[in-house]
Structure 1
């Protein structure tokens, strides 16, 4: 019970700190009025909302409370009221990812979209997407500036889908109220142009921060073939990457820096992942399973390089690979 109390205390302090930061940003917005320094408040808000998203992610994994329903209520409140995203959409998508990380045809996180993660998908690109895919590693982080908008759009799209959607009207009601209040405050405090700029900066920072925190977790790690079968330990460790940095990396990435341990023990609270890392590393070395950990900057560079290598499959069919290699050298 001592460990449970420690975890509960950690999350209470974290939530209180984020609420305090949110209150500080709101106060700053009121005091600044019609000043372009409001864009600094927008950037700060994007960071704080991402931290709330990390906390919602942890609640969805039953890390915050001992009761499943209590975690669901907390996760739904954090995701919808604070972040403006659908909790049921996230739970459905993320549960599939955890069951089959980096498995082709099973992991929704590597399904082809604007960015593709397999050479097969890259080779099938046509038109503008072919052009984009060829250097997608370089475009990846600029595209993340739009990721926040996409998350809101996909969330609403999932809630408006046909069929049975759990919590549809509750989530739609909370999200609509959240945006109504948010937009009213912004457009009352600022001129129209500044208000739109504020929204743009907030969404861009939110999207970039979210995307750059999740990308190092699995991108450029081995893919699992459609028919390939692995034991649980090998599947989760081989396809995941840790980011070194201890406490500061954990604070920056909401505990996602311990991605390997998180996949092995998805309901383990953030404060205990560092200790679990020591045990998992030792077991991986004993069993010969590759355990990858690198710095935050190096992880981002690996993502860019991998996406560009995948994108080479989208080159025009008449381009000779040897000639293209000489052009790059």
Structure 2
């Protein structure tokens, strides 16, 4: 028996009100202490999956199951979400400028989340806020807490957003491109904080385009394309021996760190399909170098070489 999953997403379908499908049967999971990297091109459904877990898709058609520690999240009322967000599940949003309210000071917004979930005085909440900002590498954190979002640089706003997400030690942290706009030194500090969070028993879902960050910070990885999971498994297996042609193409496009420098990096021809143009068979078939007649039928996920892959090349 394996460990009980902290997060279980099963056959998740998300569509626009007009019926156009955005996520088409996504299934993911992670246990406490794990970090799941979710990778894929822009528009593949990474952030949409995260927003589904956070209950932030008002007006969408949603089917399937999302469970956090065995508790169903789909269909939760907003008052229930207020108790869950921040305490049980928190998110580092991709754009910190729009994630903060522009008319309230940074510190007040972090204070509010801390006091919502913990019985602390204003003074104690502010002390924790200043400590968190300092831990994120924000210079003069007490002064930064008194500033409005537009008065901080993009990198400082990103650090403040991470401080807010970590303020109540959530059981599940969703990090959507958390190292964007940060220099290498601060990026290393953030990844270390995520690792410490895992060591305390939390789970982390890390959304990123950076395969180096996945290799450094994650235990497992899932590859999304056009709202479908094409490959998932342990990081070492997937990154060192990619099976799906899409995963292979993504990794081939990364510049090598050593050896001869190629005159031109490989690219993936074509573009990801729009929701209304998604193929009925394998979603990657129109861009795949190995396409064959069998790809006209959507391949099922199959276990192969320590991971699961959806490709006819590995059909039993």
Structure ranking higher on relative contact order (CA contacts 8 Å, 6+ apart): 1
Q: TM-score, normalised by structure 1?
A: 0.25
Please state which structure has a larger fraction of its residues in helix: 1
Q: TM-score, normalised by structure 2?
A: 0.25
Please state which structure has a larger fraction of its residues in strand: 2
